[in-house]
């Protein structure tokens, strides 16, 4: 893990400077696209905690993203809570809801496929609420944040910097967690829950923490999304979005930070590039996802992982032991 000062010194610095400066040269439309990339960086970073590192099949992430979007919007417009509090509050609210869901699930200690189905059901139930609780959410007509509620004077630029700040903080925090005992605990649960318990890790609590943490990230991402787009619909957060997020994680590479970042960057950019052939877009993504699951389950960053085990491999080879690649 790295303290705040160190975080600036590493390779991150040039990328960060680039991200700081580039919006001044971009047109409004591309600025929004880059903004969405940053939002997905947060969201996928969060998804990585629960699915990539802890190995829990959660299909509720897109719904939490939606919950963050709706709660932030409702806090700002309906409850007239000040902007920044609403935004963070949206993330916290989403985390609290996920905590509630977890308590229901914890007594049964669900895992694997069963968890996948339950989170799927919860996600659909949440979408149903977005669609049918018309008084609060506007139902099928969606919910709008009027421009008077957001930044005045170059709002696109200010939205972008807000997203950049959040992305930076959350990625830094997340990376630190991953490189500490927390990350190791997550990975140990994924690799062998029994052995993890034998090591003294309270796996139930860590699974809960992983779930709630990722929901918080999704909630913040959703909040940012609602601020940037200023108009959200229930359909934005359903199965389609779930698949999109899942694709980003798999294609980028689950279980690594660089993977999450890669996936979050590639897909929105690719979407833009392929905008002209938008009809084929959906099909294209689904097929790519299928291909990746079949042939490159470790994603793009998985290709780089193979190179990194260098030192350990050398020692094993010197003892005449064949390594697994």
Partner 1 sequence: MSLLQIVDVSRAFGGLLALDQVSISIEKGQLLSLIGPNGAGKTTLINLISGYYRLDKGKILLNGKDISNQKPHVLRKAGIARTFQRSELFSSMTVVENILVGLHNGIRTNLLSAGIGLRKAREEEEAKKKKAMEILDFIGMLELRDARAIDLPLGLRKVLELGRAIAIAPKVLLLDEPVGGLNETEALHLEQIFKRICYGLEVAILLIEHNMNFVMRVSEKIFVLDYGKKIAEGTPQEVKTNPIVIEAYLGKQDARTSRC
Partner 2 sequence: MIYQQIISGLINGSAYASVAVGLVMIYKATEIVNFAQGEFFMLGAYFAYFFYSTLHLSYPVALLVSVLLVGFSGVILERISIRPLINRKAHVASIFMITLALSASLKSANRLISGEFEKPFPTAFTPTPLNIHGTFVNRQQLLVLGSTFVIMIILAMFFKWSRLGKAMRGTSTNRLLASLLGIKVQGIFSMTWFIAAVLGALSGVLLAPIILIYPDMGGIVSKVIAAAIIGGLNSLPGAVLGGIIIGLAENIGGAYISTSLTDVTAFLSIILFLVFRPSGLFGKPVTKRV
Residues that bind partner 1 (CB under 8 A): 1-4, 6-7, 172-174, 176-177, 180-182, 184-185, 187-188, 190-192, 194-203, 209, 255, 309, 311-313, 315-316, 321, 323-324
Rounded Cα distance, 276 and 42, in Å: 27
Rounded Cα distance, 323 and 325, in Å: 6
Rounded Cα distance, 129 and 18, in Å: 41
Of the residues 294, 315, 321, 324, which one makes contact with partner 2 according to CB under 8 A:
294
Total count of residues recorded for the chain: 325
Q: Which does 312 bind (CB under 5 to 8 A by kind): partner 2, partner 1, none?
A: partner 1
Regarding 102 and contact with partner 2 (CB under 8 A), the answer is: no
Q: Which does 321 bind (CB under 5 to 8 A by kind): partner 2, partner 1, none?
A: partner 1
Contact call for residues 75 and 207 (beta carbons, < 8 A): no
Rounded Cα distance, 207 and 102, in Å: 9
Shortest Å, Cβ 278 to partner 1: 38
Sketch the per residue contact string, 251 through 280, with partner 2: x for CB under 8 A, - otherwise.
----------------------------xx
Q: Which does 113 bind (CB under 5 to 8 A by kind): partner 2, partner 1, none?
A: partner 2
Residues 173-232 that bind partner 2 (CB under 8 A): 194
Neighbour tally for 294: CB within 10 Å: 8
Q: CB under 8 A: which stretch of 41-49, 223-231, 264-272, 291-299 binds partner 2?
A: 291-299
List Cβ neighbours of 145 (8 Å cut-off, separation of 6 or more): 73, 76, 77, 226, 227, 230, 231
């Amino acid at each position: 893990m790295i303290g705040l000062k160190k975080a600036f010194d590493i390779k991150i610095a040039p990328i960060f400077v680039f991200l700081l400066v580039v919006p001044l040269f971009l047109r409004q439309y591309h600025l929004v696209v880059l903004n969405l990339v940053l939002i997905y960086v947060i969201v996928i970073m969060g998804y990585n905690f629960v699915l990539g590192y802890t190995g829990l099949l959660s299909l509720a992430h897109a719904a939490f993203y939606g919950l963050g979007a709706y709660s932030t919007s409702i806090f700002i417009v309906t409850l007239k809570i000040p902007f920044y509090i609403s935004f963070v509050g949206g993330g916290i609210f989403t985390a609290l809801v996920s905590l509630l869901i977890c308590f229901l699930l914890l007594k049964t200690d669900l895992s694997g496929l069963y968890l996948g189905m339950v989170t799927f059901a919860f996600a659909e139930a949440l979408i149903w609420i977005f669609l049918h609780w018309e008084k609060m959410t506007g139902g099928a007509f969606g919910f709008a944040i009027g421009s008077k509620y957001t930044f005045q004077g170059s709002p696109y630029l200010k939205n972008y910097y807000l997203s950049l700040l959040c992305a930076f903080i959350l990625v830094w925090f997340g990376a630190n967690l991953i490189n500490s005992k927390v990350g190791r605990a997550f990975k140990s649960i994924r690799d062998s829950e029994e052995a993890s318990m034998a090591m003294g890790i309270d796996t139930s609590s860590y699974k809960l923490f992983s779930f709630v943490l990722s929901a918080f990230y999704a909630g913040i991402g959703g909040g940012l999304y609602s601020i940037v787009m200023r108009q959200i619909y229930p359909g934005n957060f359903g199965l389609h979005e779930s698949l999109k997020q899942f694709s980003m994680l798999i294609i980028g590479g689950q279980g690594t930070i660089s993977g999450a970042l890669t996936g979050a960057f590639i897909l929105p950019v690719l979407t833009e590039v392929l905008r002209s052939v938008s009809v084929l877009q959906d099909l294209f993504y689904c097929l790519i996802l299928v291909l990746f699951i079949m042939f490159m389950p470790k994603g793009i960053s998985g290709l780089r992982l193979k190179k990194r085990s260098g030192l350990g491999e050398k020692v094993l080879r010197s003892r005449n032991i064949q390594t697994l690649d």
